[in-house]
Amino acid sequence: MSDNDRIYATPQPQISDFTFNEAVVRVFPDMIKRSVPGYPTIVENIGVLAAQFAQPDSVLYDLGSSLGAVTQALRRHVKAEGCRVIAVDNSPAMVERCREYLHAQDSMFQELLPVEVQEGDILALAFAPCSVVALNFTLQFIAPEQRLTLLSRIRQSLLPGGALILSEKLRFEDETEQQLLGELHIAFKRANGYSELEIAQKRTALDNVMKPDSLDQHRERLLQAGFSKVIPWFQCLNFASLIALP
Ligand code: GEK
């Protein structure tokens, strides 16, 4: 269903900023699996975690849903009565393909949670009362100065007993840790078949658009947004996932 990622395989005279366009959508499942250590484990387990936090008759959000991998995991695992999933992404190409993938899931399984895929900016979203919010590698693409506002709005919409699940690439204050985990991440990409050229060109393309924070920055910001507890549940190299409790 998805092609191999060869987007940066040939030298590009000028590298434009990375966008989630049609070409990226075509290769996205391959790209994210070969680039983000732990991605399949994180996605599946977001479903498992969500099943513990989902409250009856509430909304589960998948924000920056891309092709709906998290939405599909939520629909596989959450059994709470009356829940529905809202998946939101601002890339029209992603949204179109995401709807196709979810129709395919609908045709293969019965009694899945209802889902609505919305094309829009998560910064402009009017949140419904919700029990699970997944930001799976999305916050890092939001302008740093907008992150606290977004998290505060999520916190205000979260029901008691619910949770935000936040996965991000991490930056490290400690230079040795930053360098080692950075190098190990490059080794991970190499091991998955990316060439030095592909790795270098992709890094340049992401430079202006993806701004990772440190674990401390995430923790402090989440507490400032009104969350009471921040609990890391997964880390593989410089990629981590946190549970934030209201
Ligand atoms: C997964 N969660 O497969 N509003 C809505 N969507 C946005 C915004 C915004 N302001 N900014 C970026 N996006 C997915 C992976 S990818 C991460 C998430 C990655 C969307 C953007 O269009 C893209 O689809 C997604 O956030 C980030 O579990 O590719 O590393």
pLDDT (tens digit, 9 = 90+) per residue, 32-67? 999 999 999 999 999 999 999 999 999 999 999 999
Structural domain contains residue 46? yes
- Nearest-angstrom CA–CA distance, 215 and 119: 30
Count up the domains in the chain and report the number: 1
Q: How confident is residue 204, by pLDDT bands cut at 50, 70 and 90?
A: confident
Q: What predicted TM-score, i.e. pTM, was given to this entire model?
A: 0.97
Whole-number mean pLDDT of the chain?
95
CATH number, domain of 223, equals: 3.40.50.150
Residue 97 identity: R
Structural domain contains residue 17? no
Position in ligand 1 atom list of the atom nearest CA 66: 24
Structural domain contains residue 11? no
Structural domain contains residue 56? yes
pLDDT digits (tens, 9 = 90+) for 64-86: 999 999 999 999 999 999 999 99
Q: 59-63 and 84-89: which strand pairing?
A: parallel
- What residues contact residue 185 under an 8 Å CB cut-off, 6+ apart? 37, 237, 238, 239
Structural domain contains residue 33? no
* CB-based contact 57:84 (threshold 8 Å): no
Range(s) of the domain holding residue 55: 39-171+212-245
At what angle are helices 39-53 and 22-35 packed, to 10 degrees? 90
Check residue 1 and give its pLDDT: 58
Structural domain contains residue 4? no
Ligand 1 pocket mutation, candidates 45, 138, 149, criterion most atoms within 8 A of CB: 138
Ligand 1 pocket mutation, candidates 62, 65, 66, criterion most atoms within 8 A of CB: 66
What is the rounded average pLDDT of the residues 86-104?
A: 97
Query: How many residues does the structure list for the chain?
Result: 246
Q: Which one is predicted more confidently, 1 or 142? A: 142
Q: How confident is residue 126, by pLDDT bands cut at 50, 70 and 90?
A: very high
Report the separation in Å between the CA atom of 194 and the middle of ligand 1, taken as the mean of its atom positions: 22
In the structure, which protein residues have their CB atom closer than 6 angstroms to any atom of ligand 1? Answer: 20, 32, 43, 64-66, 69-70, 88-91, 94, 121-123, 136-138, 141-142
Say if residue 9's pLDDT is above 90.
no
Structural domain contains residue 192? no
- Nearest-angstrom CA–CA distance, 105 and 141: 28
* Phi, psi at 158, each rounded to 5°: -75, 135
- Nearest-angstrom CA–CA distance, 136 and 165: 7
